[in-house]
């Protein structure tokens, strides 16, 4: 995958040294927040497309990517808190938070509590429920599978099983940025297994009416995690909210149909005051 690679930076938040990448660009700050087990670099193809019109950043949540592993500090409040800490670190004004999966929940939870630096949020395929059958099935697999892989092809096949419509080039890129080599040549997930064991999924329906900034919900049309009826209820609960479905994409619709995803995201960004 050909990209203009970003610059790496670190800062401290709530007992952890966190990593982020700065893609440069001019205009409104856009902060990309990944989901569980993913990394800031999973957003590379989106960031590269946005940087011509926006100042783009992507954050590695604690225990993920190149951020510090801090067992015992993977609670929901830590992840929401680090979003605010990051916005303060870069002194963002009128920023847009774009969060996929768990990152979407952290984004709307932060915006509801403190919208002072936020102009808008994009929630990508994430519900506010405490229990979700789709994510429950994912967790069964997460806990059962190992952390090490024989080679890049094995990682690519694992990723293909979760996002079957993603093209080979992007799958291989994501496989590379989500892993690091071991001395024996095998590959290791770039996330702390303890993240899965400590992960919290609080009910957040009461939070949605408190989100007072412009909001877009993006749902993968084939997603088993965010059902259409739930997305519609969310859109009705958030005061200034629209909802878009991405065809030919599931939970990772940003990878499976990037052109449609970027069109929806771009239209939202262009429409913000």
How many separate domains does the chain show? 1
pLDDT at 242 over 50: yes
Kindly list the distances between the CA atom of residue 37 and the CA atoms of 46, 120, 180, 183, 269, in Å, as whole numbers in the listed order.
18, 25, 14, 22, 27
Domain annotation covers residue 190: yes
| CA–centroid distance for 203 within its chain | 19
Q: Which residues contact 89 (CB under 8 A, 6 or more apart)?
A: 11, 13
What span, in angstroms and rounded, lies between the C-alpha atoms of 133 and 137?
Answer: 6
Q: How high is the pLDDT of residue 1?
A: 42
Tell me, yes or no, whether 147 lies in a domain. Answer: yes
Instruction: Say if 60 falls within a structural domain.
Output: yes
CATH number for position 113? 3.40.50.1820
Q: Give the pLDDT band of residue 135 (cuts 50, 70, 90).
A: confident
Does residue 1 fall inside a structural domain? no
Instruction: Give 191's strand partners.
Output: 64
Q: For residue 86, what are the contacts with CB-CB under 8 A and spacing of at least 6? A: 11, 13, 18, 20, 31, 57, 59
pLDDT at residue 138, as a whole number: 79
Indicate whether 2 belongs to any domain: no
Per-residue pLDDT at 2 exceeds 60 = no
Q: Is residue 182 part of a domain?
A: yes
Residue 262 inside a domain? The answer is yes
Query: Per-residue pLDDT for 232 more than 50?
Result: yes
- 79-11-113 Cα angle (round to 5): 35
The span from the CA of 169 to the CA of 28, in Å, is: 29
HSE on the CB side for 187, CA within 13 Å? 17
Query: What range defines the domain where residue 83 resides?
Result: 7-271
Residue 80 has pLDDT above 90, yes or no: yes
Could you report the per-residue pLDDT of 172-220, keeping only the tens digit for each?
A: 999 999 999 999 999 999 999 999 999 999 999 999 999 999 999 999 9
CA torsion 142-143-149-152 (nearest 10°) is 0
For the cut 60, the answer to whether the pLDDT of residue 3 exceeds it is no
pLDDT of res. 4: 56
* 189 domain residue, yes or no: yes
Q: What is the 3-state secondary structure (H, E, C) of the chain?
A: CCCCCCEEEEEEECCEEEEEEEEECCCCEEEEECCCCCCHHHHHHHHHHHCCCCEEEEECCCCECCCCCCCCCCCHHHHHHHHHHHHHHCCCCCEEEEEECHHHHHHHHHHHHCCCCEEEEEEECCCCCCCCHHHHHHHHHHHHCCCEECCHHHHHHHHHHHCCCCCHHHHHHHHHHCEEECCCCCEEECECHHHHHHCCCCCCHHHHHHCCCEEEEEEECCCCCCCHHHHHHHHHHCCCEEEEEECCCCCCHHHHCHHHHHHHHHHHHHHCC
């Amino acid at each position: 995958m050909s990209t203009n690679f970003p610059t790496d930076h670190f800062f401290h938040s709530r007992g952890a040294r966190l990593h982020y990448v700065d893609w440069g660009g001019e205009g409104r700050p856009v902060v990309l927040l990944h989901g569980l087990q993913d990394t800031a670099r999973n957003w590379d193809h989106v960031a590269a497309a946005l940087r011509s019109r926006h100042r783009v950043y992507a954050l590695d949540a604690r225990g993920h990517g190149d951020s510090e592993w801090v067992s015992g500090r993977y609670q929901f409040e830590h992840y929401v808190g680090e979003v605010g800490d990051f916005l303060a670190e870069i002194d963002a004004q009128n920023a847009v938070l774009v969060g996929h999966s768990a990152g979407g929940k952290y984004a709307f939870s932060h915006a509801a509590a403190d919208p002072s630096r936020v102009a808008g949020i994009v929630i990508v395929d994430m519900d506010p429920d405490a229990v979700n059958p789709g994510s429950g099935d994912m967790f069964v697999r997460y806990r059962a599978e190992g952390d090490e892989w024989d080679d890049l092809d094995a990682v690519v096949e694992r990723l293909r099983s979760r996002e079957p419509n993603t093209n080979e080039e992007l799958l291989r890129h994501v496989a590379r940025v989500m892993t690091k080599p071991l001395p024996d040549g095998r590959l290791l997930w770039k996330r702390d297994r303890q993240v899965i064991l400590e992960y919290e999924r609080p009910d957040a329906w009461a939070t949605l009416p408190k989100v007072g900034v412009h909001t877009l919900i993006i749902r993968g049309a084939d997603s088993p995690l965010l059902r259409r009826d739930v997305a519609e209820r969310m859109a009705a609960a958030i005061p200034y909210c629209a909802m878009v479905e991405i065809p030919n994409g599931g939970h990772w619709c940003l990878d499976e149909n990037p052109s449609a995803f970027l069109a929806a995201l771009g239209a939202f960004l262009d429409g913000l005051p």
